[in-house]
Amino acid sequence: MKVNLRINGVNRTTELEPRKTLLDALRENFLLNGTHAGCEHGVCGACTVLIDGEPVRSCLMFAVQADGYEITTIEGLAPAPGELGVLQDAFCETHGLQCGYCTPGMILAAHALLQTTLTPTRDDIVEAISGNICRCTGYGQIIEAVEFAAARLRVANTPRPQHDGLNRELPKHAAPTEGLLEAEKGDQPVAEAK
Amino acid sequence: MTADPATFRFVSTNRRVREDRRFVAGRGYYVADVALEGMLHVAILPSQHPAARIVSIDASAALAMPGVHYVLTGDELAAATDPLMNGLDTPKVQRHPLAVGQTRYAGEWVVAVVADSRALAEDATEKVRVVYEPLPFVINAEQALLPDSPPVHPAHGSNVLLDRTFVWGEVEKHFAESPRQLAFRVTWGRNSTVPIETFGVAASWDPWRDMLDVWASIQMPKYPDQIARALRIPANCVRVHQDVDVGGSYGVKRGIKQTVLVAHLARRLGRPVRLIEDRLENMRGGDAHGPERIFDVEVAFNNDGIVKSMKIRALDNAGAYAGRAPFQLGKPIGAIVGPYKIESVQYRAQSVTTNKAVQEAVRGFGQSPTNYAIETAIDKVAAATGLERIEVRRRNFIRKEEFPYLIPSGSSYDSGDYHTVVDKVFAHIDFAAMEQERDRLRASGMLAGIGIAACLEPSGGNSSFEPLLNEKNTTTTWMDSCRINIDGLGFVTVTIHNTSSGQGHETLVSTVIGEVLQIDPDLIRVVRPDSLACLPSNSPVGSRMAIMLGGAAFHAAQKLKTKLTRIAAHQFGLAEDKVVYASGGVGDPKSNRQLSWIDIVNIGHRNFHLLPEGMEPGLESTHVMQVPTGDRLPENGRVQMYPCHSFEFHVVLMAIDPVLGKPEIKRYVIGHDCGTVINPHIVKGMTLGGVAHGLGAALLEEFVYDDEGHLITQSFMDYLLPSSREMPKVEIVHHCTPSPHTVFGQKGSGESGYLGAPAAISAAVNDCVASLGISFNKLPIRISAIGDAIADAQQGKPQQQAK
């Protein structure tokens, strides 16, 4: 059957079987290979995409069910070819990955968190990625990456959430009032990486 | 050591891992991303029975479905291919990709269905009718040893694949002389590395070029050779594309049966064919389980806690075919005394077949279970003598000044400073404060305890365990290679000859070559040619790449540096030792004449008339590196195994809520000495990831079979991988004892966390529950087991120990 999907801000149309998962459709029909199959029973989180900003297992959802929603895949996070977003760059800075297989899902889960708060606690981060299994890293450098990205975003001159999605009070001034160019002060090396 | 750490520009510095860029953008290139024109898809029909004769297979209904191309059975495949290689001398234990005549474990692959899509192939497997006649089976290793147990391979005559007893030193004399002895049993549950990407392979056959092209999620030494052998084609007809990113492996992705199956289908059908295992196929029949081992240990010691001798019997449940299981009993021989000065050892290694899935190589290659047994022994000696556990370790540790230290089984440990690492860890922790915290937790009603474990990580993998366990095997090299080319415009391209599964080999070689040539590592391109264009290499097994690939890159770069220097010296009319190489250029310090990188490149590429006599044009070098040790065959059951020995020391503070039985790690500190670190981020990641993997082995992960011979933990709902919730924040305390065998003093670091964490976490659990008079002697120690044992103890019932 024919299905219309809005993926990374672009309307796309394809023919597929109604039983096809969103995961398979993204990979096979739209050639978006950044979304990975890990367990295909909804546990490992490698297939995580964002549906209207919320992390969702694309292996547990039929492609036809995604009609009418904003779908974001890892391909939608890089601002331009060859250019990384702040969170992606933070994963590179702390080496928050090894084999890279869980990484797209992990970054999307973390991205969703940072859309709701730029002041996450370690426990918030642990909770946000707890549905994404990484077999390589033991999570330490992933948590550091998210902390580092949050710190950089707090001082970046970019749009930020107006409220804390975790229902906590936001600091009155997350960024210095005089303003700073993106990451001018935030781009400090991670102390522990020495 | 040929480089001075004080002068490092790039080695050991805080530099990004270059591979990360493509992965954070979702632009890895995994096997499932390989799209070949006209590709067909495979699904597998597995056996429902742990052992059964295959009476008949009727595929007519499946073949009648539109879009279904082929149904392959074991008989057809076995007629067209040779059995898969078996490292032991057990010719009657034959292994084929699909079961032939009978099935030997539940989940074993029986029929492969090929269709236009994977979904269609899965549908069609349901239409294939297989009639089985169930046969007797055996699941338990000790039962498999009994003479009347059903043999998994009747032609072999018994279930024993390997039963070797080694005696190194005067074991009986030392036991007779020792005032104290103890004996115990511990059991290591069947777990594995379980990467998030399953195994996958795609193959195509071109009959006009006689070429089999293979793309696979592979980490396998001699992979093309084994494919060619099984398919009975020349090895230069097999082209493995090494530029495929591997989504995690940690030893296990050997995929030879999958590859032979798919390659045969590609030839048979004249179309590209691929098999990407789904999670069920992977867990149940992917032949990727790890060691399952019973240790019976006896220790001879004195009242000062000095361990004189040890007897270890290790009984490993190999599963239905030999696989790599028996050799995983062999590698621990290279560190059979751990970091301790134990004078003599008796080691009986037994490997038996059972009706379970086949084992593959798992991180540490058998070392982690062995460390668990050794560390448990040390804890028991401490308990028996009334000494502190750390004090017993300190007294038995090999001392810094005693290296190189020859252990009874024939390996020489290169270097180490175990006492200092332990001191640094204790200083970092403030151990007295940790004990106070433990006591505070206890006072608050929790069960609390501290676990400690030391471990050695032999690294730089050779394969000396193969000739040790199989006299017909005479392998004494396990080389790795690197080739560097400087092109006519002066840009550097390096080839490496393996796949990677997250170890950062591109970062490793660019860092090393940048260091030697004094050029920016980020400007060095690193590529992986297909296997036909490759130099001999043996893949990242045995924690070897920093040592072996790093070493090969170092030596290749040194050769190039020498060539650049010679060219420049020739222009100056000077001897090589009169000029100075610096930052890619060469100068004559006396006359201040200087040739830049691009000047020398120009001469090398364009001015043969300016080259020294006899020099080849172009700027290219290769180095094929021999492992620094292990170049001799075993003698009298002794052999030198891996060259380098990293050391780790784990300390765990744990609390268990006595009502829930759930262990919570309050603090985890690891002291870590892998010599010179090449990239700190990579070493940190390997260490933390290894600890998480070890935590899984200690508390969560097990492939459990029920009494009917069925795997009952075959999804991630039942086989539990540690999540961010289970994993504590781990503190790493670094120390550096360089290895004398390597170019920068580096040692391996890929296994350390996994080698020590299970022992440390097990010790912590047992310290928590010691006050109740109970202990656990089998891994994993599940929440349910802890909760039940605590409840029983509180009600005064005796503890039910695992079989």
What is B427-450 written as a DSSP string? HHHTHHHHHHHHHHHHHTT-EEEE
User: Is B690 within 8 Å of A95 when comparing Cβ atoms?
Assistant: no
At residue B3, the pLDDT reads 58
> Going from the N-terminus, what domains does chain B have, and what CATH number goes with each?
5-27+479-626 (3.30.365.10), 34-135+193-285 (3.90.1170.50)
- The region that residue A124 occupies, defined by phi over 0 for left and psi between -120 and 50 for alpha, beta otherwise, is alpha
pLDDT of residue A157: 73
Residues in B closer than 8 angstroms to A189, CB to CB, are 14
Instruction: Report the residue from A41, A89, A130 with minimal CB separation from B715.
Output: A41
Give per-residue pLDDT as tens, B252-296.
999 999 999 999 999 999 999 999 999 999 999 999 999 999 999
Interatomic CA distance for residues B603 and A84, integer angstroms: 40
What residues in B contact A46, CB-CB < 8 Å?
A: 196-197
The confidence band for A166, taking pLDDT boundaries of 50, 70 and 90, is: low
- Predicted local distance difference test score (pLDDT) of residue B357: 97
Judge: B26–A35 Cβ closer than 8 Å, yes or no: yes
Of chain B residues 175-214, which have a CB less than 8 A from chain A?
193-197
- Using 50, 70 and 90 to split pLDDT, how confident is the model at B586? very high
- Contact across the interface for B689 and A138, Cβ inside 8 Å: yes
Q: How many helices (H) and strands (E) does chain B have?
A: 20, 29
Count of CB atoms within 10 A of residue B179's CB?
A: 10
The one-character DSSP state at B348 is E
Report chain B's C-alpha Rg in angstroms. Answer: 28
**Could A139 and B278 be called an inter-chain contact, meaning their C-beta atoms sit closer than 8 Å?**
no
Residue B489, phi-psi category: left (phi > 0), alpha (psi -120 to 50), beta (remainder): alpha
For B233, the 3-state DSSP assignment is: coil
Place of tokens 């292994």: B95
B403-461 per-position pLDDT tens digit:
999 999 999 999 999 999 999 999 999 999 999 999 999 999 999 999 999 999 999 98
Percent of chain B whose predicted confidence (pLDDT) is above 90: 96
**pLDDT tens digits along B96-122:** 999 999 999 999 999 999 999 999 999
A-B Cβ pairs (cutoff 8 Å, strict): 186
Q: What are phi and psi of B523, to 5 degrees?
A: -90, 0
Question: Are the CB atoms for B393 and B671 separated by under 8 Å?
Answer: no
How many other CB atoms are found less than 10 A from the CB of residue B689?
28
Contacts of A132 in chain B (CB under 8 A): 723-724
Exposure b/e, B497-524, CB count within 10 A at least 16 = b: bbbbbbbbbbbbbbbbbbbbbbbebeeb
pLDDT band at A162 (very low <50, low <70, confident <90, very high): low
Which of residues 233 through 262 in chain B touch A, CB cutoff 8 A?
245-250
Measured between CB atoms, does B159 come within 8 Å of chain A?
A: no
Q: State yes or no: pLDDT of A122 exceeds 90.
A: yes
CA triplet A112, A117, A123: central angle to 5 degrees? 85
Interface test with B, best of A35, A44, A101 (most B CBs within 10 A): A101
Assigned CATH for A2-76? 3.10.20.30
**Complete DSSP assignment for B552-587:** HHHHHHHHHHHHHHHHHHHHHT--GGGSEEETTEEE
AA letter at A98: Q
Measured CA to CA, the distance from residue B520 to residue B478 in angstroms comes to 30
The pLDDT-based confidence of B624 (bands split at 50, 70, 90) is very high
Mean pLDDT along residues A123-146: 98
Best CA proximity match to B262, nearest among B309, B303, B214, B299 = B214
What does the alpha-carbon distance between residue B452 and residue B434 come to, in Å, rounded to a whole number?
A: 12
Domain ranges for chain A: 2-76, 86-182
Crossing angle (nearest 10°) for helices B367-385 and B389-396: 110
Tell me the average pLDDT across A3-29: 97
For residue A4, the distance in angstroms to the closest alpha carbon of chain B comes to 22
B160-168 β-sheet, strand order: B160-168, B344-353, B307-319, B293-301, B180-188, B778-779
If DSSP codes are grouped into helix, strand and coil, which group holds residue B364? Answer: coil
In 3D space, the residue among B748, B260, B244, B679 whose CA is nearest the CA of residue B540 turns out to be B748
Task: For residue B431, give every residue at least 6 positions away whose Cβ sits within 8 Å of its Cβ, in sequence order, or none.
Answer: B651
Contacts of residue B417, Cβ cutoff 8 Å, sequence gap at least 6? B400, B647, B673, B735, B737
Task: Give residue B307's identity as a one-letter amino acid code.
Answer: V
Confidence class for position A187, pLDDT limits 50, 70, 90 = very low
Please judge whether B197 and A101 are an interchain contact, meaning their C-beta atoms are less than 8 angstroms apart. Answer: yes
Q: Could you tell me the CA-to-CA distances from B458 to B17, B337, B365, B440 in Å, in that order? A: 25, 12, 10, 38
Determine the pLDDT at residue A161: 58
User: Around Cβ B117, how many Cβ atoms within 10 Å?
Assistant: 17
Please state, in angstroms and as integers, the Cα–Cα distance from residue B654 to each residue in B447, B668, B762, B787, following that order. Answer: 8, 9, 10, 15
CA distance B236 to B222: 13
> Among candidates B727, A97, A158, B26, which has minimal Cα distance to A150?
A158
Q: What is the DSSP string of A77-123?
A: TSSBTTB--HHHHHHHHHT--SS-SSHHHHHHHHHHHHHH-SS--HH
Average of pLDDT values for B336-356? 98
Cβ-contact A102, B697 below 8 angstroms: no
Cβ of B682 under 8 Å from any chain A Cβ? Answer: yes
Comparison of pLDDT for B709 and B88, the residue scoring more: B709
* Residue pLDDT, tens place only, A39-61: 999 999 999 999 999 999 999 99
Q: Is the pLDDT of residue B297 over 80?
A: yes
Residue with tokens 């935590």: B695
Tens of pLDDT, residue by residue over B201-226, are 999 999 999 999 999 999 999 999 99
Q: CA-CA distance, B674 to B657, in Å (whole number)? A: 36
The strand order across the sheet containing B663-673 reads B447-459, B644-656, B663-673, B730-734
* Residues pairing with B181 in the sheet: B300
pLDDT band at B7 (very low <50, low <70, confident <90, very high): confident
Query: Testing the interface with B: which of A99, A102, A137 to mutate, by most B Cβ within 10 A?
Result: A99
For residue B701, the distance in angstroms to the closest alpha carbon of chain A comes to 13
| CATH code given to domain A86-182 | 1.10.150.120
Q: How confident is the model at residue B741 (pLDDT cuts 50, 70, 90)?
A: very high
User: Cβ contacts (< 8 Å) between B22 and chain A: which residues?
Assistant: 100
Q: Which amino acid makes up residue B426? A: F
Give dist(CA B255, CA B199) in Å, integer.
Answer: 7
Band the pLDDT of A164: cuts 50, 70, 90.
low
3 state SS for B520-541:
CHHHCEEECCCHHHCCCCCCCC
CA distance A53 to A96: 22
Mean pLDDT of B632-648: 95
Polymer length of chain B: 803
For residue A101, the chain B residue with the least C-alpha distance is B247
Any idea of the CA torsion for B717, B281, A97, A149, to the nearest 10 degrees?
Answer: -50
Average pLDDT of span B59-76 = 98
**Per-residue pLDDT, B406:** 98
- Averaged pLDDT, B467-485: 94
Report whether B522 contacts B18 (CB < 8 A): yes
Give whole-number Cα distances, B723 to A57, B619, B689, in Å.
16, 49, 11
Averaged pLDDT score across all residues of chain B: 96
Q: Is the CB of residue B31 less than 8 Å from the CB of residue B215?
A: yes
Q: Are B31 and B276 in contact (CB under 8 A)?
A: yes
Strand order in the sheet with B585-588: B580-582, B585-588, B593-595
A135 with B685: Cβ contact below 8 A: no
B692 inside 8 A of chain A by CB: yes
User: CA-based angle B26:B201:B704, to the nearest 5?
Assistant: 95
Query: Is residue A16 a contact partner of residue A57, using CB atoms and an 8 Å limit?
Result: no
β-bridge mates for residue B655, sequence order: B448, B664
What is the tens place of the pLDDT at every residue in A77-117? Answer: 999 999 999 999 999 999 999 999 999 999 999 999 999 99
User: How far apart (Å, rounded) are the C-alpha atoms in residues B506 and B108?
Assistant: 37
Closest residue in chain B to residue A93, using alpha carbons only: B16
Q: Any idea what the Cα angle at residue B154 is, between residues B150 and B155, rounded to 5°?
A: 160
Residue A108 structure tokens: 């999307």
Residues of B in contact with A55 (CB under 8 A): none
Phi-psi group of B319: left, alpha or beta (phi > 0 → left; psi -120 to 50 → alpha; rest → beta): left
Cα dihedral sign, B603-B607-B611-B614: positive
Provide the pLDDT for residue B323: 82
User: Using 50, 70 and 90 to split pLDDT, how confident is the model at B803?
Assistant: very low
Residues from chain B contacting residue A71 (CB–CB below 8 Å): none
Written as six digits, the tokens of B366 are 């058998």
Where do the H-state alpha helices sit in B218-255? 223-231
Q: What is the structure's pLDDT at B799? A: 78
For residue B727, give how far its alpha carbon lies from the nearest alpha carbon of chain A (Å): 7
Cα–Cα distance, B298 to B170 (Å, whole number): 15
Confidence of residue A180 (pLDDT cuts 50, 70, 90): very low
